[in-house]
Structure 1
Amino acid sequence: MMNSLADPKISGLLKQLQNEAAGDAERWAKRSVQQQQNPSGVDSLIRMGEFYLGVSTAEGRLLYMLARSSNATQIIEFGASYGISTLYLGAAARDNGGSLITTEVHPDKCKATRKLIDEAGLAEHVTLLEGDALETLKNLIDNVNMLFLDGWKGLYLPMLKLIRPHLRPGSLVVADNVDHQAAQPYVEAIQAEDSGFVTATLGDMELSCWSG
Structure 2
Amino acid sequence: MTTLTAAPLASLLDRLFEEADGTSPMAVPSIAAMSREDHERLMRSKTDYVEFYGRLKDLPLPVSRATGKLLYMLARGCGARTIVEFGTSFGISTIHLAAALRDNGGGRLITSEFEPSKVERARANLEAAGLADLVEIRTGDALRTLAVDLPDTVDLLLLDGAKALYPEILDLVENRLRPGAFVIADNADYSSDYLARVRSAAGGYLSLPFDEDVELSMRLG
TM superposition score normalised by structure 2: 0.89
Alignment of 1:26-175 (within 5 A): 27=26, 31=32, 32=34, 33=36, 35-39=38-42, 40=45, 41=48, 42-96=50-104, 97-139=106-148, 140-175=150-185
One-letter code of the match for 2:172?
Answer: L
Identity %: 42
Contact 2:81 2:107 in 1 (8 A): yes
**What is the CA distance between 1:80 and its match in structure 2?**
1.0
Residue type of the alignment partner of 2:196:
E
**Partner Cα distance (1:26, 1:187) in 2:** 25
Secondary structure at the residue paired with 1:38? Answer: helix
Give the Cα–Cα distance (whole angstroms) in 1 for the partners of residues 101 and 193 of structure 2. Answer: 30
Q: Does residue 191 of structure 1 match 2:199?
A: yes
Asked if 2 retains the 8 angstrom alpha-carbon contact of 1:28 and 1:51, the reply is: no
Structure 2 letter corresponding to 1:11: A
SS for the counterpart of 1:147 is: strand
Matching residue of 1:5: 4
Q: Which amino acid aligns with 2:177?
A: L
Give a deviation string over 1:80-138, Cα, whole Å, max 9, x none. Answer: 11111111111011111222111111111111001111111111111111111111112
Residue identity in the other structure for 1:167? L
Count of residue pairs brought into register by the alignment? 209
The residue matched to 2:180 in structure 1 has which SS?
Answer: strand
**Shift in Å at residue 51 of structure 1?**
1.9
SS in 2 for 1:129: strand
Paired position in structure 1 for 2:218: 209
Partner amino acid, structure 1, of 2:114 = V
Gaps in structure 2 of 5+ consecutive residues: none
Deviation at 1:17, TM superposition (A): 0.7
